[in-house]
Amino acid sequence: MKHTTPRGIALYLSVLVTILVMAGCITVFYIIENEFFILPAFIIGIIVFTATFFLAYYSVEKFIYSKVKLIYKNISSQKITRIKKNEINKSPDMLAEVNEQVLSWAQDKKDEIMRLKAQENFRREFIGNLSHELKTPVFSIQGYILTLLEGGLEDPKINRDFLERAARAVDRITHMIEDLDIITQLESGQLQLNLKKVNIIEIAKEVIESLDMQAAEKNIKLGFNRNYDKPIYVKCDSGRIAQVFTNLLVNSINYGNDNGKTDIRFFDMEDNILIEVADNGLGIAQEHLPRLFERFYRVDKSRSRHQGGTGLGLAIVKHIIEAHDHSISVRSTEGVGTTFAFTLSKAK
C-alpha cells in the first residue's frame, strides 16, 4: 500500500462492496428458490456484480478525488509562484504530483527565507559600516572643536590648523552623503541620464589631466596603452562616465605601487566599445572580488580609511554603468595588478 494511488483505493473498495452485495443477493435467492439456485444465481450475480462494481467504483473515486482536489488547490494557493492549470490531472500519479508540488512550495518558502536573511544581514552590515565611516570624522570634528573651546581658539598656532582639519572632516561627511544620494537616485531611477554622442577618448583625457598632480605625488603614470588618433564615439552621459573614469583612476592611484602605471584601453566589440582601466599595483585577493562593488566594502580597511575615501566609489561606478544598460567586471592578481572592464554602446 506504500505507493497506492486514489484509483487503486477506489478499485479495492469497489471490489469489496461488490462482493458483499453479490453474496447477499445469492443468499436471498437461495432461500426463495432453492431448486433453481445454480443458473439464476449465476446470471443475477453477474448482473449485480457488474452494476454494483461500476456504481461503487464511480462513487468512491469521485469522493476521493474531490478531497485530493481540495488539498491540491489549498496547497497551490499558498505557493509563491502558482502554476495555473485548467483542470486537475486525474492520472494514477496524482498523489505523486501533489507531493512534488508540496516539496516545490516548501523549497520556495525556504529560498524566500534565505533571501530575507541575506537582505537583513546586508542591512545590518550596511548600517554598521555607515556608522563606522561617520564615526571617525564626527569624533575628529568634536575633538577639534573642544580643543578650540578650551582655549585653543586664542592660540594662533593651533586655531587655524584645527579649523582646517575640522573643515576637511566636514568635507568627507559631505562627500559621503552626496555619494549615497547618487547611489539612491541611480537605484530608484530618479537620476536621469543625459545620453549623447560623445568622443570617449576626450573624456578619458580630461580626467587623466585632472588627476596628473595626484598621480605624480605617488609617482604613478596615467595614460593610454597606445596612441588613439581617431575618435571613438559612444552613446553615454559624459558627466557620469567621467565620474566612472575618475573613481577607477583614483582607486588605482591609492592602491598603486611607487613608479607604477595605469593604462586606459579601448576595444571594438561590434555594437559596443570595451573599456579597460588596468594598473600594475598591489592587486586584490580572489575572495574579495565578488564583493568589491558593495557599498563600504574595503579590502584593506585601515589603509583605505587612511587614504580618505568614502568606500562608495566602486559602488557608484557599478550603478552608473548599469544605468547605461551595461555591466562592469574586475579581474586581479595579487602582486601583478587589477583591471576593471566595462562596455558602452557605440553611437550611431
Predicted local distance difference test score (pLDDT) of residue 185: 75
Joined grid coordinates for residue 202: 576626450
> To which H or E segment does residue 261 belong?
strand 261-269
Beta strands at 272-279 and 337-345: parallel, antiparallel or unpaired: antiparallel
Closest to 292 measured CA to CA, from 338, 348, 226, 345: 338
> To which H or E segment does residue 263 belong?
strand 261-269
Helix, coil or strand: residue 36: helix
Q: Is 247 exposed, middle or buried (0-12, 13-18, 19+ CB in 10 A)?
A: buried
Residue type, 154: E
Q: What is the DSSP letter of 311?
A: S
Predicted local distance difference test score (pLDDT) of residue 307: 52
- To the nearest 10 degrees (0 to 180), the angle between helices 159-188 and 94-149 is 160
Beta strands at 261-269 and 233-236: parallel, antiparallel or unpaired: unpaired
Predicted local distance difference test score (pLDDT) of residue 146: 85
Closest to 253 measured CA to CA, from 187, 316, 307: 307
Q: How far is CA 182 from the centre of its chain?
A: 20
Please check whether residue 198 is in contact with residue 347, taking contact to mean a CB–CB distance below 8 angstroms.
yes
Alpha helix segments (H runs only) across the chain: 6-32, 38-77, 94-149, 159-188, 200-210, 212-217, 238-254, 301-307, 313-323
d(CA 233, CA 198): 5
d(CA 66, CA 48): 27
d(CA 318, CA 312): 10
Closest to 343 measured CA to CA, from 197, 199, 241: 241
End-to-end CA distance of the chain: 70
Closest to 197 measured CA to CA, from 346, 343, 326, 342: 346
Q: How far is CA 151 from CA 142, 148, 158, in A?
A: 15, 6, 10
Closest to 240 measured CA to CA, from 185, 317, 346: 317
Ranges of the chain with pLDDT below 50: 1-3, 36, 80-88, 90, 302-306
Predicted local distance difference test score (pLDDT) of residue 290: 87
